[in-house]
Amino acid sequence: MNVEIKEKFPVEIIEEGTLMDFIDQEFVFVIKDETWMPYELQCLKQKPLEIQFVYKYDIAVFLLTIEDALDTSDFIFNVHDNTYGEELFLPDNNGYACSLYFLDKENRVMGRKKFHLSRKTSDVIAEKLRIQKDVLYQEEEFLCNLEGLQMAYEPFEMQPLALSTDIIK
């Protein structure tokens, strides 16, 4: 997915917050907020992005932090939400491709960062997503586990649980 700055995001996002998916062989992270301050957009370009992967209670959680711009935000990924091809479980040699988009209230892209996860982190993610795929899925149980996880931990409190961490400069 390649959406340029100031372009309308191709999917209408109704509520503010975070969401993610695996589209066109990359993880797409979206954060929608009413407004983005110029310094936040500058930090997206200039400050390192820390991305961590947590797998707990058969829930895959990506944690993203950008110093001075983005407190630790959590992105939940569930392989059972959509039908994904085998490319989800086979990162390329460079690691998983990713895009992070900052959207404003009109769903315009205000900031964007493209990056690859390390091969090590990509392998950890692929392994855990294969496990998640093989777990008997019951939506009610998944949602109950997710609610329990989010009630027990703020996103920054999940950081010590990370199985892998990448710093993207």
Strand, helix or coil for residue 45: helix
The C-alpha atoms of residue 127 and residue 121 are separated, in whole angstroms, by 10
Q: Does position 79 have pLDDT exceeding 90, yes or no? A: yes
Taking residues 123-152, report their average pLDDT. Answer: 96
Round to whole Å and give the CA distance between 122 and 167.
13
Residue 82 pLDDT:
87
- Region 138-156: mean pLDDT is 96
21-25, 67-71, 78-82, 98-102: segment of lowest average pLDDT: 67-71
Tokens at residue 150, please? Answer: 């989010």
What does R_g of the chain's alpha carbons equal in angstroms? 15
d(CA 83, CA 53): 21
- Domains of the chain, residue spans: 14-168
Is the CB of residue 165 less than 8 Å from the CB of residue 121?
A: yes
- Percent of the chain past pLDDT 70, that is, above it, reads 100
Instruction: In whole angstroms, give the CA distance from residue 126 to residue 103.
Output: 28
Q: Cα(79)–Cα(126) distance, rounded to whole angstroms?
A: 11
Beta-carbon contacts of 131 under 8 Å, excluding residues fewer than 6 positions away, are 55, 58
